[in-house]
Homo-oligomer: A and B are copies of this chain.
Amino acid sequence: MASRWPGLSEPKIERRLAASIVIMNSMRELFLLDPDIVFFNHGSFGATPRPVFESYQRWQRELERNPVKFIGRTQNGLLKQARATLGEYLGTDGENLVFVTNASFGINVVVRSMKLGPEDEVLTTDHEYGAVNNNWNYLADKLGFKYIIYPMPLPMTTQEAFVEEFWRGVTPRTKVISISHITSPTALIFPVQEICRRARAAGIITLIDGAHAPGQIPLNLDEIGADFYVGNLHKWLCAPKGAGFLHARLESQQLLEPLVVHGWHKTPDHPQSFVDIQQGQGTRDSAAFLAVPDAIAFQKEHNWDQVRADCHALAAQAQHRICEEFDLEPFSPVNANPQWWSQMLSMPLPNVADPRDFSRVVLEDYKIEIPMGAWRGPMQARISIQAYNTQEEVDLFVDVVTKYAKTHIPTA
């Protein structure tokens, strides 16, 4: 590991890394992450604890003992149990849920089912995930409706102000509101329950992209009351990759069509349920879905409320130190209640002469995985703190940012 800065000596970095390896043993060794990296990007794809991962691969071996028995005779019952467990965790009935590969798949199911025309509008914010925008743009091209991206400027203030401001984007033509629960570029928790309440009163369909929510914040889907809520389970719940869900409240289930037609059939002997229509997609590996109850159990067994609080505090500290040092303003008020963010935080970074070099140094010289880039103008970093991270890793990141920015000031 090369040191490029006079102020941060190699021995100091080495000591910090050595200390971090000792202290993080308790949780880090429960994950399969490469011990040589600092992983501050749980938000992109998650990371899976060993016991959950082992359950996942055990289901795969179990399938191979008799694929016909497993896929043909056993699997649907196992999935029903797993949905029931997930439903209990998410505050809804398991029959209102289907497992999907990821939140994007669930978004696709909902978007493609919407019957919209040239007079209609879909309202969203400018903090949304690119693939969700792609979905709506794709369908808008076909059907001619308008996809309205309503800007929600930073910094945020209060949740009430957010709702009031966003609601100014609603018009008599608004048929669907499609927003994130926790945003991807800005890591902000949007007040979706109040927005869903207002939308329901106004006869507007709601689609909530909860890709980053399950496992990061407590969820009660029945209370949130969205028509459709999609989430990833491989991110903050730490399930294996390829585990997400699509939730539809009972009254809205009949609005959804199958994206992958397989179990759907034309002349059913009995009416097909939401699960019948959406779940059957042909032969696939369902092991990630079946390991979801293990992921829920893992977090319960490891006192996850405390883990979340500790992670939040570490992220807050990182932001505080960098913002203080460079006189930067956070994107949301510190100590707000409820908080605007949980374990994932987008924070402003100081200006540097060459942002790409900055990213490269952080990743290549210090092996810190963290998304850094410009979202709107100034550079920012989205730091994710998970159970396997440590104070020492945060110290290292803050030091690297501080020293680099102080020695690579923009010219002019």
Contact = CB atoms under 8 A, between A and B. Distances in A.
B131 A66 contact: no
Contact of A262 (B131, B258, B264): B131
Query: What range describes how many residues of A lie at the interface?
Result: 35 or more
A283 B67 contact: no
Interface stretch (A103-111, A188-196, A298-306, A347-355): A103-111
A87 B12 CA distance: 52
A169 B196 CA distance: 53
A232 interface: yes
The residue in A64, A71, A101, A259 that gathers the most chain B C-beta atoms within 10 A of its C-beta is: A64
29 contacts: A32-B61, A33-B66, A39-B66, A45-B71, A46-B67, A53-B60, A53-B64, A57-B57, A57-B60, A66-B369, A68-B369, A101-B282, A102-B281, A102-B284, A104-B260, A105-B281, A105-B282, A131-B261, A131-B262, A131-B282, A134-B265, A135-B261, A138-B261, A138-B266, A240-B285, A242-B283, A259-B259, A259-B260, A285-B285
A67 B53 CA distance: 13
Interface in A340-376: 369
A283 B39 contact: no
Contacts of A232: 283
A45 B67 contact: yes
A34 interface: yes
A60 B134 CA distance: 28
A313 to B, nearest CB: 24
A181 interface: no
Contacts of A240: 60, 285
A266 B137 contact: yes
B261 A108 contact: yes
B34 A65 contact: yes
A247 interface: no
A44 interface: yes
Contacts of A31: 64
A45 B68 contact: yes
Interface string A59-90: 01101111111011000000000000000000
A242 to B, nearest CB: 4
Contacts of A258: 138
Given A101-B283, A108-B262, 5 more contacts: A44-B71, A104-B281, A105-B260, A137-B265, A242-B284
Interface in A131-177: 131, 134-135, 137-138, 141
Contacts of A284: 101-102, 241-242
A312 interface: no
A48 B262 CA distance: 24
B44 A64 contact: no
A41 interface: yes
Interface string A106-130: 0010010000000000000000001
A36 to B, nearest CB: 9
A101 B281 contact: yes
A68 B44 contact: yes
The residue in A47, A67, A102 that gathers the most chain B C-beta atoms within 10 A of its C-beta is: A67
A179 interface: no
Interface in A214-272: 232, 234, 240-242, 258-266
Contacts of A282: 101-105, 131
Contacts of A66: 33-34, 37, 39, 369
A39 B134 CA distance: 45
